[in-house]
Chain A
């Protein structure tokens, strides 16, 4: 939807611009040709302030004429008595100032303005030196030596298409310094520029949960070690009730690999601990940043009893101010089959919605308050009720989000 809108927004001005473009080409876009700005007055300024240099001279070589600068080039030996920079500022007059008259003529010609009447040679072509418009005879230029050689030169010339040489098979510094020392420093240099390994620990949630009945606690954290592409990732989440201890704990050890600019694929094992049956799962999943800045995570878990579970979660950081952030989050758990031992029902087994408001004292440490609503669905709800538990509940939470 938005993409279409964006595209339309892009096309509309384009359509309008088509006819206009033929008349006014923006040469600033064009590597070789400068913008058509009128050449500045060649008259030296009387003030002891520098004459503004041409903003974008009509043409490279032409430009030399209108600034006393050309004299500088032609009269290098005299530089000491009247350096061009001074001449340009009107501090002195180089002896050869006279030809400046010629420069005046040039200025008057105003190569900047597209004024060609020659249909075979539109101004922008002439500028590139590809053709000479009729009527714009070389007369005023004839006297100018510089102009005689002015077809394009230097960077105005288009590049050729010569072949690139093959990369060398050795290192030049090895010819001068001991090879072993160079080898060592080269290895360090390569590693230093892009191959760092980093360790990271974060707690997205570490909170106290106040609710009907006994209050509880909950954590959800992640740690990783590795480089840009390959990482070892550990995840842990769990919750408990004060006075009853930990209810559920889950630990995952995953190999994580960057599979795109925003997403990592992850695979490994998950171990559940706690009062219920201890299960081990093979895990495959992903985590990353989805369009519209949603942080998302999903995984499939295949248990050692053959049960298949799934999980999808995500959150969004809504910045209210630079430091105050509202974070809505959601988590959905699925199961392919009923797993009565763990009280899990097939289909969507439970869901959880949360809203947390945090204040980033520093980005690494942000206390928060919030509310969380959980609901068990279908057979999961039935299992819960059978066990004398509520199928849904609301908690007020208070905790800290932190990373190191």
Chain B
């Protein structure tokens, strides 16, 4: 009966229904130690907490004080970062930024008030331990009634696991770019009429760009896990038909962006990154590394459904089952065809349909980038950029600006487009015409025939706490070199530069993230929520992590209200490890100068 399962989905168990072990209360002890774990019947080395991978579910209540005693039983330094939690910076758990780390065989006590509710997670911020299993979910129950109604909940932690050590993975990425890519374009493919036609392949070859480079580390070495179980283990979430089931989905992967769907069931997104959003019904969503989404499903029938978490490069999938009883399975859909990067993914605007909008608004997502002071009140800059008006005294220059220079000539590395970016071998390309892509579902999800979530679908359920206009804006370029596996912000690696990015306590700033690479980057700011600039005004979705799509931009406003130094980085583990990180410092005006 299992004959129609692909090999990787052949069951090795009749379904594991055990939920994650839970710890809760006012005094929680967590012990970090090396262990083994069994995935699809195969033993692997891991780092776990309290003997489990993922680490136990930490269940807290809004308003309580959390006291978490962390014992490091490893032979190396470790740490726990509470991802998405608003807390004093010295409890944030980033060695070298917020505290000195936890030495081997020693104990650190985290203590902080719990001021929020929702689905979050925690993980190591030391070395590459996170890849080995040092991650777990956090659920904080609201102090009052939960505005989200549900009959049953399941916590679903997605992750990736390799038999290779994380150090080996990183080294291979460094010495052999594209090492893990086993879905490249081939001559056989060309002859079979697959993928790009010859002309396009030559054009891309000239640019030294590989359109199949979607995920640096992928299914060629990873097994994708749901709550620590492989596809053949078939972790199973139980329900009774007709129940409203809340799935709290956490992407705790080191490197994998998942596309999540449950064939046969629509999902209602009710929470993103721990904060409630206006319910929105979808069929599929992309969940970047470090994001969380809570969805409600209402399976009416007495049958099993497959929960599919497909890697964004379609090199494999995490799989679980929703079923009324243990031991049931539903059909596992085959992997869909892998996406190929487009010119848009290289920041060349929307060349596919020649949309003018793409070209001329390309800069709008990062208005701050354009040196255009709105001196003429009758012609604010955003109008001027559309060519609706010309600000007094800026005449000719403007015309040149609009459709001119950088964009049209398609230089792949024109530093005049991004003057702040350091001329460095770590910068392979600079997006000539980056577009705001927050309204797009993600690579390979443009034409899947059903509704896929975009950031534009998210509307905060509660009014934003701070609705002031940003007093300034700051552009940050996400830069990298895929041929050297170097990653940086503005061409500067964490290891290059000591100075933090400064903010005045209480100031509100717009951050424009401009992706100058052909890879997606989930960018995480510690200690703060930020409001995505998606036209939702005072109901902007608030997040702790935002995925900036290839060659695109994403903007957010945030209030620098959390005193101290905080980490700010790409949450793809090996990108951060290669340098894509900076420290952000929030100080009262005049402090520390």
The residues of A that contact B144 with a CB separation of less than 8 Å are: 79-80
What per-residue 1/0 map shows which CB atoms of A166-188 lie under 8 Å from chain B? 11111111001110011011111
The complex places the Cα of A18 from the Cα of B539 at a distance, in Å, of 34
The residues of B that contact A29 with a CB separation of less than 8 Å are: 357-358, 361-362, 364-365, 435-436
The stretch among B9-17, B133-141, B253-261, B482-490 that forms the contact with chain A is B482-490
Is A136 an interface position by the 8 A CB rule?
no
The complex places the Cα of A293 from the Cα of B439 at a distance, in Å, of 34
The stretch among A149-157, A210-218, A303-311 that forms the contact with chain B is A149-157
The residues of A that contact B380 with a CB separation of less than 8 Å are: 130, 158
Nearest CB of A to B179, in Å: 6
Nearest CB of A to B177, in Å: 9
Does B436 lie within 8 Å of A57, measured CB to CB?
no
Is B183 an interface position by the 8 A CB rule?
yes
Does B100 lie within 8 Å of A184, measured CB to CB?
yes
What per-residue 1/0 map shows which CB atoms of B348-373 lie under 8 Å from chain A? 10010111111111101111100001
The complex places the Cα of A25 from the Cα of B578 at a distance, in Å, of 39
The residues of A that contact B500 with a CB separation of less than 8 Å are: 167-168
Is A205 an interface position by the 8 A CB rule?
no
Does A124 lie within 8 Å of B386, measured CB to CB?
yes
Nearest CB of B to A171, in Å: 6
The residues of A that contact B498 with a CB separation of less than 8 Å are: 190
Is A95 an interface position by the 8 A CB rule?
no
Does B279 lie within 8 Å of A292, measured CB to CB?
no
Assuming A32-B382, A155-B536, A167-B500, is B592 touching A261 (CB within 8 A)? no
Nearest CB of A to B382, in Å: 6
A residues contacting B by CB (< 8 A) are: 2-3, 5-7, 9-14, 16-18, 20-21, 24-35, 48-57, 59-61, 63-64, 67, 69, 72-73, 79-80, 83-86, 88-89, 91, 122, 124-125, 128, 130, 152-173, 176-178, 181-182, 184-196, 198, 200, 228-229, 258-262, 289, 291-293, 318-322, 326, 363, 403
Does A30 lie within 8 Å of B565, measured CB to CB?
no
Nearest CB of B to A350, in Å: 29
Assuming A10-B348, A155-B534, is B502 touching A168 (CB within 8 A)? yes
The residues of A that contact B148 with a CB separation of less than 8 Å are: 83, 85
- Closest A residue by C-beta to B92: A173
Does B145 lie within 8 Å of A155, measured CB to CB?
no
Does A169 lie within 8 Å of B539, measured CB to CB?
no
Does A31 lie within 8 Å of B365, measured CB to CB?
yes
Is B383 an interface position by the 8 A CB rule?
yes
Taking A25-B357, A155-B556, A168-B591 as known contacts, 6 extra A-B pairs with beta carbons closer than 8 A to each other, sorted by chain A number, are: A61-B537, A69-B278, A85-B279, A154-B539, A185-B101, A262-B428
Contact of A88 among B202, B278, B356 (CB under 8 A): B278
Nearest CB of A to B417, in Å: 16
Does A10 lie within 8 Å of B410, measured CB to CB?
yes
Nearest CB of A to B358, in Å: 6
Does B383 lie within 8 Å of A289, measured CB to CB?
no
The stretch among B28-36, B114-122, B332-340, B454-462 that forms the contact with chain A is B454-462
Interface residues of B in 22-60 (CB under 8 A from A): none
Does B90 lie within 8 Å of A176, measured CB to CB?
yes
Assuming A130-B383, A155-B557, is B268 touching A34 (CB within 8 A)? no
Does A319 lie within 8 Å of B185, measured CB to CB?
yes
The complex places the Cα of A224 from the Cα of B467 at a distance, in Å, of 54
Nearest CB of B to A231, in Å: 11
Assuming A17-B354, A64-B539, A186-B96, is B89 touching A172 (CB within 8 A)? yes
What are the 10 closest A-B residue pairs judged by CB atoms, nearest first? A13-B354, A60-B537, A189-B96, A194-B579, A26-B357, A17-B356, A21-B356, A168-B592, A34-B535, A53-B280
The residues of B that contact A73 with a CB separation of less than 8 Å are: 462-463
Interface size on B, residues (CB 8 A): 151
What per-residue 1/0 map shows which CB atoms of B366-396 lie under 8 Å from chain A? 1110000110000011110010100000000
Is B64 an interface position by the 8 A CB rule?
no
Is B325 an interface position by the 8 A CB rule?
no
The residues of B that contact A69 with a CB separation of less than 8 Å are: 278, 459, 461
Does B593 lie within 8 Å of A185, measured CB to CB?
no
The stretch among B203-211, B225-233, B301-309, B316-324 that forms the contact with chain A is B203-211
Does A320 lie within 8 Å of B408, measured CB to CB?
no
Does B536 lie within 8 Å of A259, measured CB to CB?
no
The residues of B that contact A160 with a CB separation of less than 8 Å are: 469-472
Does A84 lie within 8 Å of B147, measured CB to CB?
yes
Does A31 lie within 8 Å of B592, measured CB to CB?
no
Does A83 lie within 8 Å of B147, measured CB to CB?
yes
Assuming A54-B459, A156-B535, is B187 touching A26 (CB within 8 A)? no
Interface residues of B in 136-167 (CB under 8 A from A): 144-149
What per-residue 1/0 map shows which CB atoms of B168-186 lie under 8 Å from chain A? 0011001110010011111
Contact of B186 among A178, A196, A320 (CB under 8 A): A320
Assuming A17-B354, A321-B186, is B361 touching A194 (CB within 8 A)? no
The stretch among B66-74, B284-292, B442-450, B581-589 that forms the contact with chain A is B581-589
The residues of B that contact A32 with a CB separation of less than 8 Å are: 364, 382, 533, 535
Contact of B145 among A83, A195, A363 (CB under 8 A): A83
The residues of B that contact A50 with a CB separation of less than 8 Å are: 268, 270, 279-281, 296
Nearest CB of A to B528, in Å: 15
Does A171 lie within 8 Å of B565, measured CB to CB?
yes
The complex places the Cα of A48 from the Cα of B147 at a distance, in Å, of 16
Nearest CB of B to A275, in Å: 35
The residues of A that contact B187 with a CB separation of less than 8 Å are: 318-321, 326
Contact of A56 among B100, B202, B457, B502 (CB under 8 A): B457
Assuming A17-B354, A50-B281, A54-B459, is B100 touching A181 (CB within 8 A)? yes
Does A291 lie within 8 Å of B206, measured CB to CB?
yes
